Amino acid sequence: MTAVPISTLTFRTNALDSMEALEAAMSKTQQQLSTGKSIQTAADNPAGMAQVNQLNMELSASQQYVTNSHVAGANLNLETQALSDASNLLQSARDLAVEANNAALSATQRQDIATQLNQQLQQLVAIGNRTDSNGNYLFAGYASTTQPFAQSGNSVSYQGAEQVSQVQISENQRISAGDTGSSVFMNLPAGNGTFTTATGVGNTGTASIGPGTVTNSSQWVPDTYTVAFTDATDYKVTNSSGATVTAGTYSAATGGTVSFNGIQVALSGSPASGDTFTVAPAGQSSAFATLSGLITTLSSTTLSSAQIATRLGQSIEQIDGALNNMNNVSASVGGRTNAVTAAQSSAQSRQTNLQTSISSISDTDYTAATSQLSSEEVALQAAEESYASLAKLSLFNYVS
């Protein structure tokens, strides 16, 4: 038999490599126990690491959606309060307009009411210019750093944007985090929303005309109509071309309505021969312009009582329109607030599920890892003792 020489260096190298591998395995197991993570690098579990990375990306996106929804929810809550304050203010202005619609009031009393309305106009502008906690204007739309409303005398203009920012609150859902000042305060229909009424400037009688109502919208033909009294009781209605639309008789004692083309308007007081009243298609107005109009009407020293009554009736109707618009906006804000709350709840549930999935893949199984560490310690100790014992043999000392 041929003797095979044993290399002491090779033996020692192999033994040391084995012990180093055991030490590395122990270090890895100890790290898993100390960090609580079984996957330290992609090499530990390439497929598992890829899954964890994907789940972490989804978790990060969900957390961002929650952050977005908190910001949106805070702004919507601020808007809700602003709309409530604006509605209360307009209701107060309406009460003052009703109070002012009294022929027995003196010019001084009407001016006192106008002074109160002027203060309310300034307060309404202040509400429109409210900001969030970061100083961004609630009703400026995209132009959140630009003050949306500027007042010059009794005139108020809108300087904000016509669109609002959309906020992503879930993977498939975006909402408006606010409303533009133009949609809340500015772009409101004048009169009753369909038409406006006015008393002729040269009228000499005491009759006034109300804001009117629509009885059949399909019959309404937008045009400028004139109700002209040929004497104290008889009138005719003509369109902008001068064609007679209808005619009738009016009694000052009982009042009455003039009806034509699907609308009707109420008259009260005593008209004089030659007095006229106008019915025209409604344009647009604003909550600010309505208050300004009230102030102008009540501050006037030249308007007749009939003209004042007509204008006050129009203003009250327009305030009702502004209040209705704010109620609609408030309902929309409430719906969006509910959507934010639902999205937050859904995101939190999803985050819990994602974190559970990540943990199931990457978290350390402490029972298994502790047992493995114990086995590795025993193996390393045995290897070290074996190496030390063999190193003492004479064979190691003399055989090459």
Q: What is the mean pLDDT of each run of 10 residues along the chain (400 residues)?
A: 56 69 64 63 62 70 83 93 97 96 92 97 97 94 94 94 89 90 94 93 94 95 97 96 96 91 95 96 94 96 93 94 96 94 83 69 61 64 66 53
First to last CA, the chain: 18
pLDDT of 357 reads 65
On whether the 42-193+283-362 domain is CATH 3.90.1300.10, my answer is: no
Rounded CA-CA distance 366/186 in Å is: 65
Contact 162, 110 (CB under 8 A): no
Amino acid at position 340, single letter: V
- Bridge partners (DSSP) of residue 199 are 277
- The answer to whether 226 and 277 have CB atoms below 8 angstroms apart is yes
- Indicate the pTM of the whole model: 0.75
**Angle at CA of residue 349, ends 345 and 351, nearest 5°:** 115
CB 311 within 8 A of CB 293: yes
How far apart, in Å, are the Cα atoms of 338 and each of 170, 208, 377? Answer: 14, 47, 58
- The rounded Cα 221 to chain-centroid distance in angstroms is 37
In 10 A of CB 14, how many CB atoms?
12
- The residue type found at 233 is T
Other residues' Cβ atoms within 10 Å of the Cβ of residue 226: 18
Domains in the chain: boundaries: 1-38+375-400, 42-193+283-362, 195-281
Residue 394, pLDDT score: 46
At residue 74, the pLDDT reads: 92
Predicted local confidence at residue 354, as pLDDT: 67
What three-state secondary structure class fits 156? strand
Q: What is the CA radius of gyration of the chain?
A: 41
